[in-house]
């Protein structure tokens, strides 16, 4: 029997899962409009009707500054909602793939963060996501928590697309020089998840690209690729912005566990950005 995957959340990652999972997975994506993950009866009805072997929770409130100013809502969806989805996965005997974030770490460490490193979430989004992880862990579900970071892809405009649009119009773009992470193409996150589904691993797995950069370095690389005016990119420090939420300074995830489990490593962020840029904007060069 083919696996049947039910995906909650039709955002960047949810849609990428719908597109890039291997064909042998039968799939269905449930948007927020179709079912709010806080609607337990609605969740149960959808799960009972579809009878998935795998449930994916890619639904969350992901706007970090919004979470800071709407703390209760953030905890309700990102923590309690994660717990509801996990308990339903347990009740129906489905494997659960739950997505979390590198922001569970505070970014003060020199070097790479492994899955077992101590967490210290700095903002409400990160705290709500970590609480979600805990509820998933203790739900009794057959779970896998995938921590990802700095995602981009063709299913939602992210920093890359917004910046390209502005630069093409001759507008200036602010890019941060003092926050570092690994930009990751959602397509490769899905490839990693596809491979992890062939394992029966229960626990946390980091999925991110090789290498690390600042938003400024990322944009300079893109300007070079697309021959955009690099002079329009203004170097900024986080301190220059009046953001509601504080962010970790430097996070590079250790992805050895993914490699040991699957033999799969994600490419370097530059290769992924180049692949995406060529796919999305290549004809315009
Ligand atoms: N994007 C990143 O760089 C990044 C980094 C680290 C971790 N992650 C994690 O990866 C996962 C997927 O992120 P993403 O980038 O795909 O986010 P996204 O594009 O913002 O998609 C999230 C989806 O969740 C839906 N949603 C929000 N509240 C909901 C609710 N109460 N019930 C049902 N659906 C709800 C949203 O629908 P509406 O928009 O209609 O509300 C949206 O379709 C999340 O767990 C996120 O924390 C993402």
Provide the CATH number for the domain around residue 89.
3.40.50.720
Q: Is residue 113 part of a domain?
A: yes
What is the Å distance from ligand 1's center to 184 Cα? 16
Which atom number of ligand 1 is nearest to the Cα of residue 147? 7
Q: Is residue 232 part of a domain?
A: no
Could you give phi then psi for residue 260, rounded to 5 degrees? -65, -35
DSSP 43-111: HHHHHHHH--SEEEE------HHHHHH-HHHHHIIIIIIHHHHHHHHHHHT-EEEEEEEGGGS-S-SSS
Asked if residue 60 has its Cβ within 6 Å of ligand 1, the reply is yes
Q: Is residue 93 part of a domain?
A: yes
**Most informative mutation of 56, 59, 66, 121 for ligand 1 (most atoms within 8 A of CB):** 59
**pLDDT-above-90 percentage for the chain:** 94
Q: Is residue 86 part of a domain?
A: yes
Give the model confidence (pLDDT) of 37-59 as tens digits. 999 999 999 999 999 999 999 99
Q: Which pLDDT band holds residue 110 (cuts at 50, 70, 90)? A: confident
Kind and range of the H or E element at 259?
helix 256-262
| Mean pLDDT, residues 20-45 | 96
Structural domain boundaries, residue 201: 4-157+183-209
| Mean pLDDT, residues 173-200 | 96
Q: Is residue 281 part of a domain?
A: no
Q: Is residue 280 part of a domain?
A: no
* Closest residue by CA, ligand 1 atom 2: 151
- This prediction's pTM: 0.96
Asked if residue 183 has its Cβ within 6 Å of ligand 1, the reply is no
Give the model confidence (pLDDT) of 190-234 as tens digits. 999 999 999 999 999 999 999 999 999 999 999 999 999 999 999
Q: Is residue 109 part of a domain?
A: yes
Identify whether the C-beta of residue 180 lies closer than 8 Å to the C-beta of residue 105. no
Residues for the chain: how many in total? 285
Q: Is residue 37 part of a domain?
A: yes
Average pLDDT, the chain: 96
Strands 26-30, 4-8: parallel, antiparallel or unpaired by DSSP? parallel
- Can you give the pLDDT at residue 1? 63
Q: Tell me the C-alpha distance between 236 and 171, whole Å.
A: 16
Torsion of CA 276, 280, 282, 285, to 10 degrees: -120
Which atom number of ligand 1 is nearest to the Cα of residue 155? 19
Which atom number of ligand 1 is nearest to the Cα of residue 76? 31
Q: Please determine, for residue 129, whether its predicted confidence score (pLDDT) is greater than 90.
A: yes
Domain count for the chain: 1
Residue keyed to tokens 């060069």: 285
């Amino acid at each position: 029997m083919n696996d049947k995957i039910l995906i909650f959340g039709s955002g960047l990652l949810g849609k990428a899962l719908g597109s890039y999972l291997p064909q042998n997975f039968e799939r269905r994506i449930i948007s927020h409009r179709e079912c709010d993950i806080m609607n337990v009866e609605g969740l149960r009805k959808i799960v009972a009707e579809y009878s998935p072997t795998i449930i994916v929770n890619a639904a969350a409130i992901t706007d970090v500054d919004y979470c800071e100013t709407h703390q209760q809502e953030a905890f309700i969806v990102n923590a309690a909602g994660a717990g509801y989805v996990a308990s339903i996965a347990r009740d129906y005997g489905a494997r659960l793939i739950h997505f979390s974030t590198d922001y569970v770490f505070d970014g003060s460490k020199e070097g790479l963060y492994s899955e077992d490193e101590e967490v210290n979430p700095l903002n409400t989004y990160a705290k709500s996501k970590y609480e979600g992880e805990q509820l998933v862990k203790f739900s009794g579900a057959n779970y896998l928590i995938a921590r990802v970071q700095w995602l981009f892809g063709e299913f939602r405009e992210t920093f890359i697309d917004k910046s390209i649009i502005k630069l093409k119009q001759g507008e200036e773009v602010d890019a941060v020089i003092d926050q570092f992470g690994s930009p990751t193409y959602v397509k490769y996150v899905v490839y990693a998840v596809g491979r992890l589904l062939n394992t029966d691993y229960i626990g946390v797995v980091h999925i991110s690209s090789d290498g690390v950069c600042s938003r400024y370095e990322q944009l300079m690389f893109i300007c070079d690729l697309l021959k955009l005016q690099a002079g329009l990119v203004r170097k900024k420090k986080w301190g220059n912005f009046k953001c509601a939420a504080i962010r970790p300074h430097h996070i590079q995830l250790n992805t050895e566990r993914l490699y040991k489990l699957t033999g799969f490593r994600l490419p370097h962020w530059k290769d992924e950005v180049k692949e995406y840029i060529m796919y999305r904007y290549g004809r315009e060069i």
